[in-house]
Structure 1
Amino acid sequence: MNRRSVIKTAGLVLAGTALLPLDTLALSVGADDNSGKDSKTPSTASGKRKLGSLEVSSIGLGVQNMSRTYQTTVPSRPEMHNIIRKAYDNGVTLFDAAEAYGPFEVEKILGEATASFRNKIVIETKFGWNIDQNTGQRLPGLNSKPDHIKVVVEGMLKRLRTDRIDLLYQHRVDPNVPIEDVVGAIKDLIKEGKVVHYGLSEPGVQTVRRAHAIHPVTAIQNEYSLLWRGPEEKIIPLCEELGIGFVPWSPLGVGFLTGAIDADTRFAPGDIRGMESRFSPENIQANIALVDLIKKWGEQKKATPAQISLAWLLAQKPWIVPIPGTTQMAHMLENVGAAAVKFSVAELQQFNSQLNAIKVVGERLPAMVQAFSDVEAPLKK
């Protein structure tokens, strides 16, 4: 069964996940975003980039779906290990996880796969959802209380089989905990050697400024792709101003930018994309012009649509590092091959001119999920 058939026939079981945002559901960070075609492009995550002072490969690997895909299937654990190790063999040094993925299980898979080369890679993971640390049960809302953060990190270290987390993100800003308290807890963990760098995901601008004033923020992780360019308004300029790296999640638009979704695609009940108005039947019909543009440039540059999409992100800023996710070896090799696709200045200007002529219609997330993004932490009393 090809990927388009899977999208039409399979759904996502959302029971117990209604309070989690898109990237903490069983949709990965760039979740298995490829079209299913084997890439003939040589695979290499060539080049290094800086997230703040942290050096990583130009393309990372999101491992979210490696415990369960958004079609609700459970991937082969040994094969997930193989993909992670092959990514490292092909130059990938940034691996992204979170306690919420599974919960817990993805961190275990990553720890199992990377034990033999742990000191040669950068592991980033995320805290912040209200998850029972003993049972893994997802409880309502968020929890970034300092004591809870420290307990969460202890569990992360065990699951990841490591003595430190290279880059620890707050998964979403907690509206009930001042960011000063959150960063204070992280600073304690840094002093103890359990955390090296920290970042924020989908934060409000002022929260970033407040956090950065206490201890430098290394990276911000937000959704960003040719399909969703919202960070260009405030977050990317803020990163440039403060010297913060930027890590796009869902850099391939949950499959849309690879051509896996077309005007005839209909989503099964439970698949969150069926709840996003950008993928409604009438809006897909309008937004397919974006895919057509990417395919045209792919033919011109002898690259796949996924590679064009990732190469465009890399061309935006030298401190942007996308983390496409996949559970398919061929897709991973295709994604890391995007680092070899380059735009000249003239090509990028031409591409952007054509891109700006296309209006993407529809919202990126359901309102209940969007409510967790761009949140400002309360002021400390």
Structure 2
Amino acid sequence: MQRRQLTENLEVSAMGLGCMGMSEFYGPHDDTESLQVLHRAAELGISFIDTADMYGPFHNEELIARFLKQCSSPMQIATKFGIVRKPGEYARTINNSAEYARSACEASLRRLGVDCIDLYYVHRIDVNQDIEVVMHALSALVSEGKIRHIGLCEVSAATLRRAHAVHPVAALQTEYSLWSRDVEADILPTCKELGIGFVPYSPLGRGFLTGTFDASGNFPEGDFRAALPRFTGNNARSNLSIVEVVHSLAERNNCTAAQVALAWLLSKGENIVPIPGTKRIAYLEENAAASDIQLPQNQLDELETSIAQLEVAGQRYTDEGMKGLNA
């Protein structure tokens, strides 16, 4: 597995692993199987693990802690705070207060069983809270050795600049894939200008871009994609045209649609580190292999042109999930 420099003093594996689905949102989960995936990731050289306190809630960080106790390879853990949920409920509130940032960080440290969090993200931004106040609170946690680097999620370029002026932002995590490309307008250029790493989540469009879905809308119980606008009805049928473009290019390169989607992302900048999530070893291995695929520039251009001619149907989340995006 190759390595990439997210930002100064933060080098990680070129591909990370998103662990959200190991706890909820994507149907039933199995801790034994998830631990096997985590150990296989370490064997493949993936050392950048992404979690959050609200995945479960709390179950995901506790699962990662079990893995860390068993793993001898050096791992870099990114976790998040700011979204507050009650167990069993999808509804959320956003809390970025200095007091909550500290208490959430200390709780994550305990659950993860580590002395310092490598990368600590603000999961969502409270528009009623000045970002400068949030960054000052997190900067204090850096000074105390509780976190090494500060990250932000789903913020606007203007907010990113304001935050970075207070304390260096190491990485920005926002959804980015062949069917979610809003960040290309000003977010990615701003990250490049300021020397900030970019971590795309849902780089496979929550699995839609892999070509394994049809428009039937049949999902296992507990899979939140059943309610997402892009996965339902006419929207899903329309969006299959995007998958057809990706699948066609994959056939020409003797690889999978998922690998094309990830190889395309990796080609968008040396500071970009995708974190495809999975709870299956086969998919993990498939995703990891994408880091060795380099599509010819003419094919990348062809892919860009073809995708640009297609309109993505449906917003990324339900209205509840859209809270705090591009804040």
**TM-score class, shorter:** over 0.9
Partner of 1:156: 108
Q: For the structure 1 residues 136 and 147, does the alpha-carbon distance in structure 2 shift closer, same or farther, using more than 3 Å as the test?
A: farther
Partner of 1:41: none
Q: Aligned pairs, how many? A: 326
Match of 1:74 among 26, 29, 35: 29
Once residues 49 and 339 of structure 1 are traced to their aligned partners in structure 2, the CA distance between those partners, rounded to angstroms, is 11
Cα RMSD (Å) of the superposition?
2.1
Q: Percent identity?
A: 39
Deviations 1:193-234 (Å, cap 9, x if unpaired)?
Answer: 110001110112222111100111111111111121111122
AA aligned opposite 1:191: S
Match of 2:45 among 69, 73, 91: 91
Q: Secondary structure at the match of 1:222?
A: strand
Is 1:129 paired with 2:80?
Answer: no
Query: Are the equivalent residues in 2 in contact too, given 1:49–1:321 (CA < 8 A)?
Result: yes
Matches within 5 A, 1:32-51: 46-51=1-6
Q: For the structure 1 residues 343 and 244, does the alpha-carbon distance in structure 2 shift closer, same or farther, using more than 3 Å as the test?
A: same
Match of 2:190 among 232, 235, 238: 238
Deviations 1:143-198 (Å, cap 9, x if unpaired)?
Answer: 11111111111111111111100000000001232111111111111111110001
Deviation, 1:93, is 1.0
Query: Are the equivalent residues in 2 in contact too, given 1:64–1:97 (CA < 8 A)?
Result: yes
Is 1:170 paired with 2:144?
Answer: no
AA aligned opposite 2:233: P
Partner of 1:202: 154
Partner of 1:29: none
Is 1:359 paired with 2:311?
Answer: yes
Partner of 1:369: 321
Deviation, 1:129, is 1.8
Unaligned 5+ residue runs, structure 2? Answer: none
Q: Secondary structure at the match of 1:323?
A: coil
Deviations 1:32-87 (Å, cap 9, x if unpaired)?
Answer: xxxxxxxxxxxxxx21111112101111001112123522x231x22211211110
Matches within 5 A, 1:110-125: 110-117=64-71, 120-125=74-79
Q: For the structure 1 residues 165 and 367, does the alpha-carbon distance in structure 2 shift closer, same or farther, using more than 3 Å as the test?
A: same
Deviation, 1:235, is 1.1
Is 1:60 paired with 2:16?
Answer: yes
AA aligned opposite 1:126: K
Unaligned 5+ residue runs, structure 1? Answer: 1-45, 376-381
Once residues 325 and 272 of structure 1 are traced to their aligned partners in structure 2, the CA distance between those partners, rounded to angstroms, is 15
AA aligned opposite 1:85: H
Partner of 2:228: 276
Is 1:285 paired with 2:237?
Answer: yes
Partner of 1:107: 61
Query: Are the equivalent residues in 1 in contact too, given 2:246–2:303 (CA < 8 A)?
Result: no
Query: Are the equivalent residues in 2 in contact too, given 1:49–1:319 (CA < 8 A)?
Result: yes
Q: For the structure 1 residues 300 and 214, does the alpha-carbon distance in structure 2 shift closer, same or farther, using more than 3 Å as the test?
A: same
Q: Secondary structure at the match of 1:141?
A: strand
Partner of 2:132: 180
The structure with higher relative contact order (CA 8 Å, sep 6+) is 1
Query: Are the equivalent residues in 2 in contact too, given 1:266–1:281 (CA < 8 A)?
Result: no
Is 1:315 paired with 2:267?
Answer: yes
Query: Are the equivalent residues in 2 in contact too, given 1:257–1:291 (CA < 8 A)?
Result: yes
Matches within 5 A, 1:209-220: 209-220=161-172
Matches within 5 A, 1:330-341: 330-341=282-293
Matches within 5 A, 1:7-46: 46=1
Deviation, 1:140, is 5.0
Q: For the structure 1 residues 216 and 297, does the alpha-carbon distance in structure 2 shift closer, same or farther, using more than 3 Å as the test?
A: same
Partner of 2:200: 248
Once residues 320 and 248 of structure 2 are traced to their aligned partners in structure 1, the CA distance between those partners, rounded to angstroms, is 36
Once residues 345 and 328 of structure 1 are traced to their aligned partners in structure 2, the CA distance between those partners, rounded to angstroms, is 31
Q: Secondary structure at the match of 1:368?
A: coil
Once residues 315 and 110 of structure 1 are traced to their aligned partners in structure 2, the CA distance between those partners, rounded to angstroms, is 29
Q: Secondary structure at the match of 1:184?
A: helix
Deviation, 1:115, is 2.8
Query: Are the equivalent residues in 1 in contact too, given 2:215–2:232 (CA < 8 A)?
Result: no
